[in-house]
Chains A and B, each alone.
Chain A
């Protein structure tokens, strides 16, 4: 049957099947829009200029890119794959990603330790960090929020946006609500109960970031747990929103770059990752989208430094919910969450 399939399709394709990639070409995923513009400016263009190689960019968000990577593990199309939702942990466990060494990627040496914990097993290093905090409509909120517990204030509930945990930042937001409600990583029930109460008081759940942005732009949203990069996107678009870090701590969301196993131009791909980890690229990314750099040698302009979490001490102060625990529980949590919010 498979042979017949092959024959039929070969006939149908009459050579339209792509020629094997040239050695001087790598394929990566990026996240579209302003992110992709920054990616191009900070990494891709300089990389192409320095190596003469061509970079194919596929716009694919983390979750979709991972599903694609897993389904085509016999013939992966990406050389370098970027994730923002912890997918590299599952990928490394399933052998889809290639371990990195400091010989392949020299800039690893200058990275903060926490940003490269899993590189030996295939989990790509974090090349930038999005700080998750409170985004609020400065022109509408009666008083500026200062702490995560403000999310639970019933006065705000009718204007509160809760992000679904299918969204990476939503997961972090939920865990933070859980923490201020008295829960732990072993028990998220207090968080779910708190969310259930907020929903009864009129809060809404959204899953996609354009929806959240539209809610702020159009539908009278005041407050959301959200990341600094999107907050900055909203500000640039002219909305009167502000971003603050909650007093209880600022959870970090890592954006990682991993090498894909089973590709034949590892050397070029490693060079690409190395460039993403370089202080210049990281400074450029911080300026464009307000990400926290992970390379300790990165130098930011004062104006940029003022609006991002920056420097060894501040960066070390970022919290991180254990991604391995998240991955181990994701399926159960998503189901429990679904049951909590279902009407």
Chain B
């Protein structure tokens, strides 16, 4: 921490972080606890210890297939949304009408996804016929776009516009300028946006529920579909695996790419 922070505030900050952690992770701790419980229901406190829900989750072909589909979907959605949204944000940051336009770009978040899902399904079926992976890809990209645009714009708003000008004056071409000056400037925003895009797509259930095609089940839809007739802790085990996977993924990314670079921004 900066030296400028008084000691009493430091203690307060720690207390605050711990409380926030409890609030954020408490419900997740319940899920983890339930996932190893011998109880047949999602009930707490857990009774005994068993790994059979994990066995069941990993042994169920549907869960595994749904996981891979969700992962594939989230990856392509993240890439497309970050590219398209990042470009749009750079363009928006230059315009004078940025405020009005970015509100337009926020509109997919304002409409409940069920309305978008049904509208999309009607339009897609009358135009293309049966839905497919591409339908999900398109719909998820549309709803993740606003996140990328917002986070990138927020960062660009504080960027130094003269930097780009300076680079241009010094003879850098448009593309080089974009690559070497503008892009590094919006990197933290792009990364945060990409992160959201990935998470939103991975956790999205409503669009996927209505737009999926036979054989294309995403993980959230698969979990939702199991609840009515087998509310056992398998879903908790699946979620715990997701938590572990997220942590592992971040660790690996950190090792390979050095997320510190992002953190340093």
Contacts and interface: CB of A to CB of B under 8 A. Distances in A.
A237 B232 contact: yes
Given A13-B134, A17-B130, 10 more contacts: A6-B128, A33-B230, A35-B228, A56-B215, A67-B118, A71-B122, A71-B125, A77-B130, A218-B43, A238-B40
Contacts of A239: 41
Given A16-B134, A17-B134, A71-B118, A32 B127 contact: no
Contacts of A34: 229-230
Interface in A15-43: 16-18, 20-21, 27, 31-36
A95 to B, nearest CB: 15
Interface string A41-71: 0000000000000001111110010011001
Interface of A: 2, 5-6, 9-10, 12-13, 16-18, 20-21, 27, 31-36, 56-61, 64, 67-68, 71-77, 208-210, 213-214, 217-218, 233, 237-239
B240 interface: no
Contact of B214 (A27, A71, A72): A27
B132 A56 contact: no
B131 A72 contact: yes
The 10 tightest CB contacts between A and B, nearest first, are A33-B229, A33-B230, A59-B225, A13-B134, A72-B125, A56-B214, A32-B225, A237-B40, A71-B121, A217-B41
B239 interface: no
A306 B137 CA distance: 51
A10 B128 CA distance: 9
A213 B225 contact: no
B213 interface: yes
Nearest to B230: A33
B150 interface: no
Given A6-B128, A60-B225, A71-B118, A213 B231 contact: yes
B213 to A, nearest CB: 6
Contacts of B59: none
A66 B179 CA distance: 49
A11 to B, nearest CB: 10
B210 A71 contact: yes
B196 interface: no
Interface string B199-227: 00000000001101111010001100111
A76 B121 CA distance: 10
A294 B125 CA distance: 35
